[in-house]
Amino acid sequence: MEAASIPAGPPASQRVKQLIGTYGLTAVLLIMPVWFAIQDLTDEGNLVRLGENLVAGLSNGAIWALVAIGYTLVYGIVELINFAHGEIFMIGSFISASLIVTLGLTVDSAAVPVFFGLLAALLLAMIGSGTLNVLIERVAYRPLRSAPKLAPLITAVGMSFILQNVGLLWKGGNQQGVPDLLNAQNTLFTVFGVTIENADVLSVVVTIPLLIVMTSFINRSRLGKAMRATAQDPEAARLMGINVDTTISLTFLLGGMLAGAAGLIYAMYQTTIWFFQGFTGGLIAFTAAVMGGIGNLRGAVLGGLIIGFIQQMSDNRIGTEWTPAIVFGYLVLIMVFKPSGLLGEQTRDAG
């Protein structure tokens, strides 16, 4: 009688890697804030400086999260990295700044005209960026949907350079100032000594409702369910009567609209815009999407916030020249020990 075979468990190296992926990455992400917290308590006796770093990181991270969602939405539906998405974000900033100038808004304008002017700029930036994103999908990506994956990828890079040069022709090669309509650096209030500025409130107040509305739309609306069905199985969705082409266009529209909103927030937050911001911002947002788990909406938001926190702590305490290396160092660590990202990749699920 043969002895019963006992299935072999995963090798020790794999178990260690899984353990690090589950708990080690969390510990690594906490190294910077914990270290700086200890340093602040030792040197200054309080955590005010760290708190201000985290508040600024939350504001910046909210912008990257909005842009990152566009990357992850498109990837979740058609498994395409839309490298032109960063330039859509840049165009959103340019549309906003142009409308502000057209409306004649200045730092001396009254509160009511500023409010309605910014609301109009937000809507126009979202509509303009979303429409542009849909046109790019229709002209550049849809004809290549059945082509080898390298073809739409190279096309996306090409569209990125085209839009970058459109921005260069539109606003020139130098950074352009945007009227500081909100007095962005003005202290609105303080919490335990941590200052909360107007720009911080703008970033959170605009971002959170947009995320809630978009999530509710995808999870509850009929069109949102069509997006999820298309993400799961495009052919089965087509057989069920779903217009897959329209659904994909809707996905590009939503992603572009969020990028346009992020463009307005960025313009108001930084009070400067330029044609190259789409490349750098797009790269950061794409990193956020991959870090959180490409195709995972919650992962895109988490990745954007994490990068925002890392950037602010590094810029303020280590040096701006080291910030990109630190951000991508974290990305490499996450990819090595958890290739699917922190919350897991969802290649066929947009939600």
- Spans in the chain with pLDDT lower than 50: 1-2, 4, 6, 347-351
For the residues of 107-143, what is the DSSP string, one character each?
Answer: TTS-HHHHHHHHHHHHHHHHHHHHHHHHHHIIIIIGG
Polymer length in residues for the chain: 351
Q: How many CA atoms are closer than 13 Å to the CA of 286, on its beta-carbon side?
A: 17
- Picking from 197, 212, 199, the residue whose alpha carbon sits closest to that of residue 301 is 212
Q: What is the 3-state secondary structure (H, E, C) of 98-115?
A: HHHHHCCCCCCCCHHHHH
φ, ψ (nearest 5 deg) of residue 349: -150, 115
Tens digit of pLDDT for each residue in 278-296? 999 999 999 999 988 888 8
pLDDT value of residue 21: 58
Residue type, 160: S
**Domain locations in the chain?**
50-337
pLDDT value of residue 334: 86
CATH no. of 50-337? 1.10.3470
How far is residue 283 CA from its own chain's centroid? 10
Tens digit of pLDDT for each residue in 63-104? 999 999 989 988 888 888 899 999 999 999 999 999 999 998
pLDDT value of residue 274: 92
On whether the CB atoms of residues 262 and 121 are closer than 8 A, the answer is: no
3-class SS of residue 301: helix
